[in-house]
Amino acid sequence: MEKLSLSVNTLFFFVLTFAGLYFASPFLIPLTLAAVLSMVFIRLCSFIESKGVSRGVASVLCIVLFVLSIGLVLGLLSIELSSLAENLDGMEKRIVSMLESLKSWINETIGIKKIDQQKAIDQGTKGKSGGMILSFAAGLMGILINTILVLVYMFLFLSMRSHIKKFILKLVPNKENADTTAVIHQTGKVSQKYLSGLAAMIGVLWVMYGIGFSIVGVESALFFAVLCGLLEIVPFIGNLTGTGLTVLAVMAQGGNSKMVIGVLVTYLLVQFIQTYILEPIIVGEQVNINPLFTIMAIVLGELIWGVAGMILAVPLLGMAKIICDSYPHLQPYGFLIGPENPRKPKTTILDYMKKLFGKK
């Protein structure tokens, strides 16, 4: 009876937590994103500090490196997007032609005349253009403010990480300090290894998608390759979205059915290589979660925090599992979200490289 009462109280606590996460999302999203990203740079920051550089300067250098990496990707996308813009007129004509064909099909199949269809479209979009522009401007301003907040938070997390760790240790009895320190290190490693491995895998996906789309004959193949790779940040959903956008672009470019099939074959081939070769070698099994709860976490993350929640869902759930496994009252939940047949994490290519260079 006591165990049942404890389980009910724990579930009630989770419900209250999710409600708080939803209503506090404007504050928590940039804070959590910065915390997860700062974990990736802790090792690099410590390495720079070991060369005699102060912690503040080392933190700034890590932030600069992060900004340069993001800028490089955005610059690459903008270059490819400019080349894609040269074909926008032709793509627009093809889209209009496709819409006309769709209207004709609706007229012949359902019996709704083209004039009535156009009236419905005009009525639905009337007076919304100004609101869309304002919404876009507000969204752009929000992204800019959140980006600045993330960078500031990252700097503070990196420069104050020892202070934050001491605070966490003060929350537990002295006899549990060693166990708590181990949990802190393990949760940090989950984020480090998962995100660094994911970044390496995205780079490889760029190459594979770029080669595949170029062979198929997709215009601005590099742009769609980078797009498909970046969307891989969101498991399961991102790769389908990227491929769907590429197929639509190929159709708008006037591509035939063979080109569409070529894009789908490229997607299936890349997914096969990613699932059975790249993920075990590069990412490994650092986030030891079963597929059911991975999908549930992504859906719940999108419900609470939108796109940011989908990106953060997997690493946060991996860290939550480590915390659950470390405390007896929470171990049943750690067992539930873990794999059915747990295996020891494999040595990834990143771990191998660290050992190789470490020996030297």
More confident residue, 246 or 155: 155
State the average pLDDT over residues 158-164.
91
| Rounded Cα gap, residues 29 and 50, in angstroms | 32
Question: Is 341 a residue whose pLDDT tops 80?
Answer: no
Q: Residue 64: pLDDT band by 50, 70, 90 thresholds?
A: very high
| Rounded Cα gap, residues 105 and 112, in angstroms | 10
| Rounded Cα gap, residues 216 and 258, in angstroms | 9
Q: Domain spans of the chain?
A: 287-341
Interhelix angle 237-252/88-109, rounded to 10 degrees, is 90
Segment holding 195, helix H or strand E: helix 177-216
Q: Tell me, what's the pLDDT at 22?
A: 86
Question: Is 274 a residue whose pLDDT tops 60?
Answer: yes
More confident residue, 155 or 135: 155
Cβ neighbours, 10 Å, residue 317:
20
Q: Tell me, what's the pLDDT at 9?
A: 74
Q: Tell me, what's the pLDDT at 307?
A: 82
Length reported for the chain = 360
Q: Tell me, what's the pLDDT at 199?
A: 83
Average pLDDT of every residue of the chain: 78
Q: Residue 286: pLDDT band by 50, 70, 90 thresholds?
A: low
Contact (CB, 8 A) for 184 and 165: yes
- DSSP states of 294-358: HHHHHHHHHHHHTHHHHHHHHHHHHHHHHHHHHSGGGHHHHHHHS-SS--PPPPPHHHHHHHHHH
Q: Tell me, what's the pLDDT at 360?
A: 43
More confident residue, 97 or 199: 199
| Rounded Cα gap, residues 140 and 277, in angstroms | 38
State the average pLDDT over residues 63-69.
93
Show contacts of 303-310: CB within 8 Å, 24+ apart. 303/22, 304/18, 304/21, 304/22, 304/25, 305/21, 305/25, 305/28, 305/29, 306/25, 307/234, 308/29, 308/33, 309/29, 310/234, 310/237
The predicted-structure confidence for 201-242, as pLDDT tens digits, reads as follows: 888 888 999 999 889 888 778 888 888 888 888 776 777 888
State the average pLDDT over residues 279-286.
62
State the average pLDDT over residues 311-328.
85
Question: Is 248 a residue whose pLDDT tops 70?
Answer: yes
Q: Tell me, what's the pLDDT at 152?
A: 94
- In this structure, what DSSP letter does residue 275 have? I
Q: Residue 93: pLDDT band by 50, 70, 90 thresholds?
A: low
More confident residue, 45 or 345: 45
3-class DSSP state for residue 169? helix
Contact (CB, 8 A) for 243 and 97: no
The answer to whether the pTM exceeds 0.85 is no
State the average pLDDT over residues 178-192.
80
State the average pLDDT over residues 335-350.
64
Question: Is 195 a residue whose pLDDT tops 70?
Answer: yes
Weakest-pLDDT range from 54-68, 90-104, 289-303: 90-104
| Rounded Cα gap, residues 288 and 278, in angstroms | 17
Percent with pLDDT over 70 in the chain: 76
Contact (CB, 8 A) for 170 and 82: no
Question: Is 132 a residue whose pLDDT tops 60?
Answer: no
**Cα angle for residues 15, 21, 24 (degrees, 5° grid):** 140
More confident residue, 3 or 294: 294
Question: Is 359 a residue whose pLDDT tops 50?
Answer: no
State the average pLDDT over residues 103-125.
66
